[in-house]
Structure 1
Amino acid sequence: MKCIIYSRVSTTDQTTENQILQLREYAEKQGRTVIDVKTDICSGSKSADERSGLREVFDLARRRRFDVLLFWSLDRLSREGTRKTLEYLSRLDSYKVKWHSYSEEYISSLGIFADAIIALMSCLARQERLRISDRTKAGLQRAVSQGKTLGRPKLNPAIEPQAIKLREQGYSYSRIARELNISKTHAYKLCR
Protein backbone atom coordinates (compact mmCIF):
# COMPACT_ATOMS: atom_id res chain seq x y z
CA MET A 1 0.00 0.00 0.00
CA LYS A 2 1.23 3.47 -0.90
CA CYS A 3 0.91 6.03 1.84
CA ILE A 4 1.39 9.69 2.48
CA ILE A 5 2.44 11.10 5.81
CA TYR A 6 0.80 14.32 6.94
CA SER A 7 2.49 16.25 9.72
CA ARG A 8 1.63 19.60 11.28
CA VAL A 9 3.04 21.87 13.96
CA SER A 10 1.65 25.21 15.08
CA THR A 11 4.76 27.41 15.09
CA THR A 12 8.17 27.67 13.47
CA ASP A 13 9.70 26.99 16.92
CA GLN A 14 8.40 23.44 16.65
CA THR A 15 9.52 20.65 14.34
CA THR A 16 7.69 17.95 12.43
CA GLU A 17 10.75 15.67 12.45
CA ASN A 18 9.66 13.53 15.42
CA GLN A 19 6.21 12.92 13.95
CA ILE A 20 7.64 12.04 10.54
CA LEU A 21 10.29 9.70 11.99
CA GLN A 22 7.74 7.72 14.00
CA LEU A 23 5.29 7.59 11.08
CA ARG A 24 7.99 6.37 8.69
CA GLU A 25 8.99 3.61 11.14
CA TYR A 26 5.34 2.62 11.56
CA ALA A 27 4.77 2.51 7.79
CA GLU A 28 7.87 0.36 7.31
CA LYS A 29 6.74 -2.12 10.00
CA GLN A 30 3.35 -2.35 8.31
CA GLY A 31 4.93 -2.99 4.91
CA ARG A 32 3.70 0.29 3.45
CA THR A 33 5.62 2.50 1.03
CA VAL A 34 5.80 6.17 1.93
CA ILE A 35 5.57 8.02 -1.37
CA ASP A 36 5.43 11.55 0.03
CA VAL A 37 5.40 13.65 3.20
CA LYS A 38 3.21 16.74 3.44
CA THR A 39 3.67 19.24 6.24
CA ASP A 40 2.12 22.45 7.48
CA ILE A 41 3.37 24.96 10.01
CA CYS A 42 0.19 26.70 11.13
CA SER A 43 -2.71 26.41 13.52
CA GLY A 44 -4.80 23.28 13.21
CA SER A 45 -7.87 25.49 13.38
CA LYS A 46 -7.18 26.72 9.84
CA SER A 47 -9.17 25.02 7.10
CA ALA A 48 -7.65 22.65 4.55
CA ASP A 49 -7.91 25.45 1.97
CA GLU A 50 -5.65 27.59 4.15
CA ARG A 51 -3.03 24.84 4.61
CA SER A 52 -0.97 24.02 1.54
CA GLY A 53 0.13 20.61 2.82
CA LEU A 54 -3.37 19.38 3.65
CA ARG A 55 -4.75 20.87 0.44
CA GLU A 56 -2.16 18.82 -1.50
CA VAL A 57 -3.12 15.70 0.47
CA PHE A 58 -6.75 16.06 -0.61
CA ASP A 59 -5.77 16.79 -4.20
CA LEU A 60 -3.63 13.64 -4.35
CA ALA A 61 -6.37 11.63 -2.63
CA ARG A 62 -8.95 12.84 -5.12
CA ARG A 63 -6.66 11.62 -7.92
CA ARG A 64 -6.11 8.28 -6.07
CA ARG A 65 -2.32 8.69 -5.96
CA PHE A 66 -2.06 6.87 -2.62
CA ASP A 67 -3.95 4.35 -0.49
CA VAL A 68 -3.44 5.45 3.13
CA LEU A 69 -2.97 8.76 4.92
CA LEU A 70 -0.91 8.51 8.11
CA PHE A 71 -0.92 11.27 10.71
CA TRP A 72 0.56 11.34 14.18
CA SER A 73 -2.68 12.21 15.99
CA LEU A 74 -6.10 13.55 15.11
CA ASP A 75 -5.26 17.03 16.41
CA ARG A 76 -2.32 17.12 13.97
CA LEU A 77 -4.84 16.61 11.15
CA SER A 78 -7.36 19.18 12.40
CA ARG A 79 -8.39 21.23 15.40
CA GLU A 80 -11.44 22.63 13.65
CA GLY A 81 -13.85 20.61 15.76
CA THR A 82 -15.36 17.19 15.48
CA ARG A 83 -17.71 17.98 12.60
CA LYS A 84 -15.01 19.41 10.32
CA THR A 85 -12.55 16.65 11.23
CA LEU A 86 -15.17 14.02 10.43
CA GLU A 87 -15.82 15.82 7.15
CA TYR A 88 -12.13 15.45 6.26
CA LEU A 89 -12.09 11.76 7.13
CA SER A 90 -15.32 11.17 5.19
CA ARG A 91 -13.82 12.99 2.23
CA LEU A 92 -10.85 10.63 2.29
CA ASP A 93 -13.27 7.70 2.46
CA SER A 94 -15.16 9.03 -0.57
CA TYR A 95 -11.85 8.98 -2.47
CA LYS A 96 -11.30 5.37 -1.32
CA VAL A 97 -8.29 6.44 0.75
CA LYS A 98 -7.81 4.87 4.17
CA TRP A 99 -6.53 6.88 7.15
CA HIS A 100 -4.77 6.08 10.39
CA SER A 101 -3.75 7.98 13.53
CA TYR A 102 -0.42 6.70 14.85
CA SER A 103 -0.90 7.69 18.50
CA GLU A 104 -4.63 6.86 18.59
CA GLU A 105 -4.71 3.49 16.85
CA TYR A 106 -8.45 3.17 17.36
CA ILE A 107 -8.92 6.19 15.04
CA SER A 108 -8.32 4.30 11.85
CA SER A 109 -10.20 3.12 8.80
CA LEU A 110 -7.73 0.25 8.38
CA GLY A 111 -9.16 -2.09 10.98
CA ILE A 112 -12.37 -4.02 11.52
CA PHE A 113 -13.83 -1.24 13.68
CA ALA A 114 -13.66 1.46 10.98
CA ASP A 115 -17.46 1.75 10.64
CA ALA A 116 -17.91 1.92 14.42
CA ILE A 117 -15.31 4.70 14.71
CA ILE A 118 -16.96 6.72 11.95
CA ALA A 119 -20.41 6.25 13.54
CA LEU A 120 -19.09 7.35 16.93
CA MET A 121 -17.38 10.39 15.44
CA SER A 122 -20.62 11.27 13.58
CA CYS A 123 -22.49 11.23 16.89
CA LEU A 124 -19.87 13.48 18.44
CA ALA A 125 -20.10 15.87 15.49
CA ARG A 126 -23.89 16.01 15.85
CA GLN A 127 -23.52 16.77 19.58
CA GLU A 128 -21.03 19.52 18.78
CA ARG A 129 -23.48 21.09 16.30
CA LEU A 130 -26.21 21.03 18.97
CA ARG A 131 -23.91 22.66 21.54
CA ILE A 132 -22.97 25.39 19.08
CA SER A 133 -26.64 25.98 18.32
CA ASP A 134 -27.52 26.16 22.02
CA ARG A 135 -24.69 28.62 22.71
CA THR A 136 -25.76 30.79 19.76
CA LYS A 137 -29.39 30.85 20.95
CA ALA A 138 -28.31 31.73 24.48
CA GLY A 139 -26.15 34.56 23.16
CA LEU A 140 -29.01 35.93 21.06
CA GLN A 141 -31.40 35.77 24.04
CA ARG A 142 -28.88 37.63 26.19
CA ALA A 143 -28.44 40.32 23.52
CA VAL A 144 -32.22 40.81 23.22
CA SER A 145 -32.59 40.99 27.02
CA GLN A 146 -29.96 43.75 27.00
CA GLY A 147 -32.05 45.74 24.52
CA LYS A 148 -30.06 45.01 21.38
CA THR A 149 -31.95 44.89 18.08
CA LEU A 150 -31.23 41.82 15.98
CA GLY A 151 -31.33 41.51 12.21
CA ARG A 152 -30.59 43.92 9.43
CA PRO A 153 -31.20 47.57 10.16
CA LYS A 154 -34.36 49.04 8.63
CA LEU A 155 -33.60 51.40 5.77
CA ASN A 156 -35.26 54.74 5.40
CA PRO A 157 -38.03 54.41 2.74
CA ALA A 158 -36.91 57.75 1.28
CA ILE A 159 -33.67 56.12 0.14
CA GLU A 160 -35.25 54.45 -2.93
CA PRO A 161 -36.15 57.71 -4.74
CA GLN A 162 -32.68 59.05 -3.89
CA ALA A 163 -31.05 56.00 -5.43
CA ILE A 164 -33.19 56.27 -8.57
CA LYS A 165 -32.40 59.98 -8.91
CA LEU A 166 -28.67 59.34 -8.57
CA ARG A 167 -28.87 56.59 -11.19
CA GLU A 168 -30.69 58.92 -13.58
CA GLN A 169 -27.84 61.38 -13.08
CA GLY A 170 -25.46 58.71 -14.37
CA TYR A 171 -24.01 57.49 -11.07
CA SER A 172 -22.69 53.91 -11.01
CA TYR A 173 -24.17 51.41 -8.57
CA SER A 174 -20.93 51.51 -6.61
CA ARG A 175 -21.06 55.27 -6.28
CA ILE A 176 -24.76 55.20 -5.32
CA ALA A 177 -23.89 52.65 -2.64
CA ARG A 178 -21.15 54.91 -1.28
CA GLU A 179 -23.34 58.02 -1.39
CA LEU A 180 -26.24 56.35 0.43
CA ASN A 181 -24.12 54.12 2.70
CA ILE A 182 -25.68 50.88 1.40
CA SER A 183 -24.34 47.84 -0.40
CA LYS A 184 -23.82 47.85 -4.16
CA THR A 185 -26.32 44.99 -4.47
CA HIS A 186 -28.92 46.98 -2.54
CA ALA A 187 -28.30 50.02 -4.74
CA TYR A 188 -28.85 47.85 -7.83
CA LYS A 189 -32.12 46.44 -6.42
CA LEU A 190 -33.44 49.88 -5.50
CA CYS A 191 -32.82 51.21 -9.00
CA ARG A 192 -34.53 48.31 -10.77
Structure 2
Amino acid sequence: MVLFWALDRFSREGVTETLNHLQRLTAAGVQFKSFTEQYLDSTGLIRDAIIGFLAAIAKQERVRFSERIKTGQARSSKKPGRPALAPEVIAELRQLRSTGLSLKKIQLATGIPVATMHKYLA
Protein backbone atom coordinates (compact mmCIF):
# COMPACT_ATOMS: atom_id res chain seq x y z
CA MET A 1 0.00 0.00 0.00
CA VAL A 2 1.10 3.55 -0.74
CA LEU A 3 0.03 5.97 1.97
CA PHE A 4 0.31 9.68 1.19
CA TRP A 5 -0.59 12.75 3.21
CA ALA A 6 -2.71 14.32 0.47
CA LEU A 7 -3.10 13.81 -3.25
CA ASP A 8 -1.26 17.04 -4.02
CA ARG A 9 1.69 15.64 -2.02
CA PHE A 10 1.59 12.37 -3.94
CA SER A 11 2.07 14.12 -7.30
CA ARG A 12 2.18 17.72 -8.47
CA GLU A 13 1.97 16.84 -12.16
CA GLY A 14 -1.71 17.63 -12.59
CA VAL A 15 -4.82 15.54 -12.39
CA THR A 16 -4.23 13.52 -15.55
CA GLU A 17 -0.72 12.38 -14.65
CA THR A 18 -1.72 11.73 -11.05
CA LEU A 19 -4.60 9.56 -12.27
CA ASN A 20 -2.17 7.67 -14.52
CA HIS A 21 0.08 7.00 -11.51
CA LEU A 22 -2.85 5.75 -9.43
CA GLN A 23 -4.05 3.53 -12.27
CA ARG A 24 -0.55 2.03 -12.63
CA LEU A 25 -0.51 1.30 -8.90
CA THR A 26 -3.94 -0.34 -9.14
CA ALA A 27 -2.87 -2.41 -12.17
CA ALA A 28 0.19 -3.61 -10.23
CA GLY A 29 -2.01 -4.67 -7.33
CA VAL A 30 -0.83 -1.85 -5.07
CA GLN A 31 -3.46 -0.08 -3.01
CA PHE A 32 -3.32 3.62 -2.14
CA LYS A 33 -4.74 5.78 0.57
CA SER A 34 -4.65 9.47 1.46
CA PHE A 35 -4.14 10.20 5.14
CA THR A 36 -6.05 13.51 5.11
CA GLU A 37 -8.55 12.84 2.30
CA GLN A 38 -10.62 9.91 3.49
CA TYR A 39 -12.42 9.52 0.14
CA LEU A 40 -9.11 8.66 -1.58
CA ASP A 41 -8.86 5.09 -0.39
CA SER A 42 -8.50 2.17 -2.79
CA THR A 43 -8.77 -0.37 0.00
CA GLY A 44 -12.53 0.07 0.39
CA LEU A 45 -15.54 -1.03 -1.60
CA ILE A 46 -15.71 2.16 -3.69
CA ARG A 47 -12.24 1.77 -5.21
CA ASP A 48 -13.52 1.75 -8.81
CA ALA A 49 -15.74 4.75 -8.13
CA ILE A 50 -12.72 6.73 -6.92
CA ILE A 51 -10.76 5.96 -10.08
CA GLY A 52 -13.81 6.90 -12.18
CA PHE A 53 -14.26 10.13 -10.24
CA LEU A 54 -10.60 11.10 -10.72
CA ALA A 55 -10.84 10.23 -14.42
CA ALA A 56 -13.84 12.56 -14.76
CA ILE A 57 -11.92 15.36 -13.04
CA ALA A 58 -8.94 14.77 -15.35
CA LYS A 59 -11.16 14.95 -18.41
CA GLN A 60 -12.75 18.17 -17.19
CA GLU A 61 -9.30 19.66 -16.54
CA ARG A 62 -8.25 18.88 -20.13
CA VAL A 63 -11.43 20.54 -21.46
CA ARG A 64 -10.88 23.66 -19.33
CA PHE A 65 -7.23 23.85 -20.36
CA SER A 66 -8.25 23.72 -24.02
CA GLU A 67 -10.90 26.40 -23.45
CA ARG A 68 -8.38 28.68 -21.73
CA ILE A 69 -5.94 28.31 -24.62
CA LYS A 70 -8.63 29.11 -27.21
CA THR A 71 -9.87 32.10 -25.18
CA GLY A 72 -6.34 33.45 -24.86
CA GLN A 73 -5.74 33.06 -28.58
CA ALA A 74 -9.02 34.81 -29.38
CA ARG A 75 -8.13 37.73 -27.08
CA SER A 76 -4.65 38.08 -28.49
CA SER A 77 -4.19 40.54 -31.29
CA LYS A 78 -1.22 38.54 -32.54
CA LYS A 79 -1.57 35.93 -35.21
CA PRO A 80 0.12 32.63 -34.23
CA GLY A 81 3.35 31.69 -35.94
CA ARG A 82 6.18 33.70 -37.40
CA PRO A 83 5.39 36.92 -39.22
CA ALA A 84 5.48 36.72 -43.01
CA LEU A 85 8.40 38.25 -44.86
CA ALA A 86 7.76 41.54 -46.60
CA PRO A 87 7.37 41.32 -50.39
CA GLU A 88 10.54 43.37 -50.95
CA VAL A 89 12.53 40.95 -48.80
CA ILE A 90 11.18 38.00 -50.80
CA ALA A 91 12.17 39.79 -54.01
CA GLU A 92 15.67 40.34 -52.61
CA LEU A 93 15.97 36.65 -51.72
CA ARG A 94 14.92 35.63 -55.23
CA GLN A 95 17.36 38.09 -56.77
CA LEU A 96 20.26 36.81 -54.63
CA ARG A 97 19.34 33.20 -55.43
CA SER A 98 19.22 33.96 -59.17
CA THR A 99 22.84 35.14 -59.01
CA GLY A 100 23.84 31.62 -57.98
CA LEU A 101 24.47 32.19 -54.29
CA SER A 102 23.89 29.24 -51.99
CA LEU A 103 21.18 29.46 -49.37
CA LYS A 104 23.83 29.46 -46.63
CA LYS A 105 25.59 32.48 -48.18
CA ILE A 106 22.26 34.27 -48.54
CA GLN A 107 21.58 33.49 -44.88
CA LEU A 108 24.91 35.00 -43.87
CA ALA A 109 24.17 38.11 -45.97
CA THR A 110 20.55 38.64 -44.87
CA GLY A 111 20.22 36.89 -41.51
CA ILE A 112 17.14 35.01 -42.73
CA PRO A 113 17.18 31.33 -41.74
CA VAL A 114 17.57 28.75 -44.50
CA ALA A 115 14.31 27.05 -43.46
CA THR A 116 12.45 30.33 -43.99
CA MET A 117 14.05 30.77 -47.40
CA HIS A 118 12.86 27.29 -48.41
CA LYS A 119 9.33 28.42 -47.67
CA TYR A 120 9.57 31.37 -50.05
CA LEU A 121 11.96 30.07 -52.70
CA ALA A 122 10.43 26.64 -53.28
TM-score over 0.5 for the pair:
yes
Match of 1:114 among 31, 40, 47: 47
The one-letter code of the counterpart of 1:91 is: R
Report 1:20-99 matches (<5 A).
Answer: 68-99=1-32
**Paired residue for 1:153?**
83
Report 1:121-160 matches (<5 A).
Answer: 121-143=54-76, 147-155=77-85, 157=90, 158=93
Deviation (angstroms), 1:75:
1.3
Q: Take 1:180 and 1:87, find their aligned partners in 2: how far apart are those partners?
A: 46
Give the number of equivalent residue pairs: 111
Q: Take 1:181 and 1:70, find their aligned partners in 2: how far apart are those partners?
A: 56
Q: Which runs of 5+ in 1 are unaligned?
A: 1-67, 170-175
Q: Take 1:119 and 1:180, find their aligned partners in 2: how far apart are those partners?
A: 54
Residue 165 (structure 1) aligned with residue 102 (structure 2): yes
Q: Which has the larger radius of gyration?
A: 2
Q: Relative to structure 2, which stretch is displaced further, 95-104 or 125-134?
A: 95-104
Q: Take 2:112 and 2:52, find their aligned partners in 1: how far apart are those partners?
A: 49
Deviations 1:89-108 (A, max 9, x none): 12322333222111113212
The one-letter code of the counterpart of 1:105 is: Q
TM-score by length of 1: 0.46
Q: Which runs of 5+ in 2 are unaligned?
A: none
Name the structure with the higher strand share: 1
Aligned residues with identical type, % of pairs: 38
Question: Which secondary structure does the structure 2 equivalent of 1:90 belong to?
Answer: helix
Match of 2:111 among 172, 175, 180: 180
Q: Take 1:98 and 1:165, find their aligned partners in 2: how far apart are those partners?
A: 63
